[in-house]
């Protein structure tokens, strides 16, 4: 049966924005002690989108290297996970499908459940591959985290896209069968249709996250999952990187362990390297943690990695993956670091200008300045239609 074959992440690539705002610059403007950002929330900078980039341009830029390496012939499904959708009806993945030049014999959908959406996409993709092991599924997670200026959430903003190719006999990570899930109806973070910026209750969100850690782990163990000591590392959704540490301490305490800070650092230390300079990327965040871990660890061959995916509102899932022998030959470490290093710093005034940018809603012809240097750009909004260009 197809279910007997290993299925998981065959390849992974990410992209982020053209610009970056350092937390030093943010603190200089608002008079905040930089320690509140660097140590308090564990963030050093945040990716800032240009006026001609969005979740589509980032998603296509993240996915293009996968198509260049593997081709698109085996891809029959694209699942686009986001909570910063650009249209109430049309999937952002359809634009990505077009920009990548993929075959018309493809299904494309968009998934939403706050920051959890990409994990739902991953699990749905595994089901499709189990049904037909010859196909591969392209999962794209892309988001722009945006909060009101001078609000408590402002310092946690960010933007990125992660693209993953899901298939049988994966080259990077086999996803294991047991999975623990959890849902609770809470209003910790939400964005009504009439708002561009999200609303968040910070303390409520932390409490909801920790409750979801307990619930998803409990369900995971009840379905035959691994014990905590079996994992080489843990990847958590990181709305800010210190939240991962808070969540992991909570998990260890819930499992009856004394909190050993050396152990916590060993379990998480390598997973925050990308998120702490990109900021919160919502659906992409957990998989940026995985990329950082794989790109930096000396050798994880055959080792188990734990994943805690959390999406406000709230839905969570705990699952595990085992690292495939030879995985290092398939990593994109140099390209990932280049994606971060290529960002151009902006001062606070320019950041505020970019933050406040929005298209008019009159259906006119509104072109965007060519600010980006990446492979795809949002060229205009014309007759209420987004127009994209490839370079």
Whether 105 contacts 135, CB under 8 Å: no
CA distance 330 to 253: 36
Assess whether 83 carries a catalytic annotation: yes
- Cα 274 to its chain centre, rounded Å, is 11
CA distance 289 to 234: 9
Catalytically annotated residue among 10, 23, 53, 83: 83
Q: Which residues of 232-263 are buried (b: 16+ CB within 10 A; e: fewer)?
A: bbbbbbbbbbbbbbebbbbbbeeeeeeeeeeb
Element (H, E) at 219: helix 202-222
Assess whether 115 carries a catalytic annotation: yes
Catalytically annotated residue among 10, 23, 237, 248: 237
What contacts 24+ positions apart, CB below 8 Å, involve 299-305? 299/328, 300/232, 300/233, 300/327, 301/325, 301/326, 301/327, 303/231, 303/232, 303/233, 304/176, 304/226, 304/230, 304/231, 304/232, 305/173, 305/231, 305/232, 305/233, 305/234, 305/235
Q: What are phi and psi of 115, to 5 degrees?
A: -80, -5
First to last CA, the chain: 44
Catalytically annotated residue among 115, 235, 248, 355: 115
Whether 108 contacts 80, CB under 8 Å: yes
Q: In Å, what is the CA distance from 311 to each residue of 91, 187, 208, 355?
A: 20, 11, 10, 24
Residues catalogued as catalytic:
83, 115, 237
């Amino acid at each position: 049966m197809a279910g007997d074959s290993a299925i998981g992440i065959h390849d992974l690539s990410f992209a982020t924005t053209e610009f970056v705002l350092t937390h030093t610059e943010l603190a200089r403007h608002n008079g905040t002690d930089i320690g509140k950002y660097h140590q308090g929330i564990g963030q050093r900078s945040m990716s800032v989108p240009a006026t001609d980039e969005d979740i589509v341009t980032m998603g296509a830029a993240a996915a293009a290297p996968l198509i260049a390496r593997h081709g698109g012939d085996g891809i029959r499904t694209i699942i686009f996970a986001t909570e910063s959708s650009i249209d109430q009806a049309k999937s952002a993945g359809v634009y990505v499908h077009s920009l990548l030049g993929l075959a018309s014999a493809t299904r494309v959908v968009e998934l939403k459940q706050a920051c959890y959406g990409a994990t739902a996409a991953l699990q749905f993709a595994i089901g499709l591959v189990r049904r037909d092991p010859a196909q591969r599924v392209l999962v794209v997670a892309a988001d722009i985290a945006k909060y009101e200026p001078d609000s408590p959430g402002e310092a946690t903003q960010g933007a990125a896209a992660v693209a993953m190719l899901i298939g049988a006999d994966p080259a990077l990570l086999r996803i294991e069968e047991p999975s623990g899930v959890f849902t609770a109806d809470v209003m910790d973070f939400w964005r009504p249709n009439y708002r561009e910026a999200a609303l968040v209750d910070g303390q409520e969100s932390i409490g909801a996250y920790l409750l979801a850690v307990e619930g998803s782990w409990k369900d995971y163990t009840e379905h035959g999952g691994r014990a905590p000591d079996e994992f080489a590392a843990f990847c958590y959704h990181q709305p800010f990187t210190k939240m991962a540490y808070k969540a992991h301490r909570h998990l260890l305490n819930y499992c009856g362990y004394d909190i050993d800070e050396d152990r916590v650092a060993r379990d998480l230390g390598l997973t925050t390297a990308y998120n702490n300079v990109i900021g919160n990327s919502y659906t992409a965040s957990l998989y940026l943690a995985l990329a950082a871990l794989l790109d930096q660890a000396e050798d994880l061959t055959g080792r188990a990695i734990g994943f805690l995916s959390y999406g406000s509102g709230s839905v969570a899932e705990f699952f595990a993956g085992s690292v495939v022998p030879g995985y290092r030959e398939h990593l994109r470490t140099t390209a990932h670091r280049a994606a971060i290093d290529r960002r151009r710093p902006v001062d606070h005034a320019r950041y505020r200008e970019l933050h406040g940018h929005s298209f008019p809603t009159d259906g006119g012809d509104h072109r965007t300045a060519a600010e980006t240097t990446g492979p795809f750009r949002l060229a205009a909004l014309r007759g209420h239609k987004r127009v994209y260009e490839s370079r």
